[in-house]
Amino acid sequence: MEFKKNDIVTVTIEDIGNDGEGIGKTEGYTLFVKDAVIGDVVEARITKCKKNYGYARVEKVVTPSSFRVEPKCAFHRQCGGCQIQAMSYARQLVYKQDKIRNNLLRIGGFTAEQVDAVMEPIAGMQEPWHYRNKAQFPVGYDREGNLITGFYAGRTHNIIANTDCALGTVENKLILEAVLSYMRENHVTAYRENTGEGLVRHVLIRTGFTSGQIMVCLVVNGKKLPAEEKLTEALLNIPFTSTGGNGQNQRITSISISINREKSNVIMGKDIRVLWGSRCIQDTLCGLTFNISPLSFYQVNPYQTEKLYGLALEYAELTGKETVWDLYCGIGTISLCMAKKARQVYGVEVVPQAIEDARENARMNQIGNVEFYEGKAEEVLPAFYAQAGPGEQLAGKEGNAKESGCGDKLHPNVIVVDPPRKGCDEKCLETMLRMKPERIVYVSCDSATLARDLRVLCDGGYELQRVRGVDQFGGTVHVECVCLIVQTKVDTTYQSRNLP
Ligand code: SAH
């Protein structure tokens, strides 16, 4: 039978797709059904037809799946944030474990035996709500022209007015309401994407879950806000009642604006001007204190990050004499955790403000055995390697550095990578292979690019030894993962094959 757009069909959902959608068949025709949960029988409306498959969305749940739960957020179907909020948390974890495994098989080309022999069960969250320490809320207008803030509806730039996201902190709502009332009272306009006019584009809020310190940064299409002191006043008057993990009251310690006059989708502008307090907030992770500035990356789920870093450290098997590179190091969180257990750590990161934070964080924690380099991993590492020259590149390999077990900068014992979703650049992987660390610890937020990169590294003489998912993003389809790969053969072919 031929299907067409707007047809209503009954589908039994048998699988889950990459974006969390349900997958089922009707008369042999495969449908990807948005908001359907595996195990559901639904009536779905077809939204798009292709030759062999189509897309649809749930009109009515006929028989709910045993995995279906009452969503916490009224906007979960419209909002692009939580794709699988209607699925029980236990089933979400099964989905994420399978996602990593399937990517390792299909994209990484590992066999089921290889993966099943090394893959550990995913580390789930104790409390899958209110776990995010960071949120960026777009500011705009509703149809009636009222000032609103909330989230973009999935795949659009229409703002859903919702200050009460179930993934963020409950204090975000108070802060957003204070910002909106400051804007109304002082006739401050919101940015309009279509015309490029108006001032306030986004509100960034970041909370130190341990320290209780809160950062509020308004992204502004201009250099200045009207009556800036009124914004500060409104924010500082919020009566917070919760405390951070250290028992101190939650309080705003940093108010700033980020100047962004570009007509683009990039949220933050690079110029930051502090209106009140400090440029950074501080937080504690794994017993270390970190300065976090508005432009720097900081893991969004602190509880799970401690588990993630704990695993990365365990996989690195540090004894105190190792040399370690930490690529994509952000503000140096992993670098500093490793530095306490290694001889020397080198960090590489592309965002200059993050490198500044990283250096300050090393000083603040009195850690001297770490050096940070600003630049792209795929440029810094190859440049450093090339500059050493062939003599030095080959020395040390079987020489002193190896024998003493402490490696050196050119021949590290361990390389840690924690790239963004797009994974590592080929040039970076290639240089890692030439440097021949004994162990590579790959921390990934996208198991598809992870699997692709592991294939390159394993073809270059490494073996997959440990894999574990760590869920940092409950309610969403995203999952973090840590892998350990170790050098298998003392392979000289790769080195000589690739030498210029
Ligand atoms: N390891 C850190 C940061 C991980 S996020 C932590 O756990 O907090 C990935 C980081 O890679 C971000 O800080 C991002 O700015 C940085 N980055 C992105 N592309 C990069 C590249 N090509 N080279 C180096 N760093 C990059």
Q: What is the 3-state secondary structure (H, E, C) of 234-259?
A: HHHCCCCCCECCCCCECEEEEEEEEE
Q: What SS3 state is found at 369?
A: coil
What is the mean pLDDT of the segment spanning 385-395? 84
Residue 165 is a catalytic residue: no
Distance of CA 23 to the CA centre of its chain: 26
Write out pLDDT tens, residues 19-51.
999 999 999 999 999 999 999 999 999 999 999
pLDDT of 398 higher than 90: no
420 lines ligand 1 (CB under 6 A): yes
Confidence of residue 486 (pLDDT cuts 50, 70, 90): very high
Q: Say how far apart CA 401 and CA 371 lie, in whole Å.
A: 19
Residue by residue, DSSP assigns 60-123 as: EEEE--TTB---S-TTTTTBSS-SSTTB-HHHHHHHHHHHHHHHHHHTT---HHHHHHHEEEEE
pLDDT for position 394: 76
Percentage of the chain beyond pLDDT 70 is 96
pLDDT of the residue at 403: 63
The C-alpha atoms of residue 265 and residue 284 are separated, in whole angstroms, by: 31
pLDDT at 64 over 90: yes
334 C-beta closer than 6 A to ligand 1: yes
Atom of ligand 1 nearest to the CA of 422: 19
What's the CA-to-centroid distance between 2 and ligand 1, angstroms?
48
Q: pLDDT averaged over the chain?
A: 94
Radius of gyration of the chain (CA): 25
Q: Which of 134, 285, 297, 424 for a ligand 1 pocket mutation test, highest count of atoms within 8 Å of Cβ?
A: 297
Nearest to 139 by CA among 228, 79, 199: 199
Rounded to 10 deg, the angle between the 228-236 and 171-185 helix axes is 150
**Mean pLDDT along residues 470-476:** 97
- Give 214-223 pLDDT, tens digit per residue: 999 999 999 9
The answer to whether the CB of 388 falls within 8 A of the CB of 396 is no
Active-site residue (options: 280, 406, 424, 445): 445
Give the chain's count of helices (H) and strands (E): 12, 22
* Residue with CA closest to ligand 1 atom 3: 330
Kindly tell me if the per-residue pLDDT of 496 is higher than 50.
no
pLDDT at 500: 39
Q: Closest ligand 1 atom to the C-alpha of 305?
A: 7
Q: Is the CB of 354 under 6 A from ligand 1?
A: yes
User: The pTM is what?
Assistant: 0.93
Determine the average pLDDT of the residues in 383-387. Answer: 94
Is the pLDDT confidence value at 384 over 90? yes
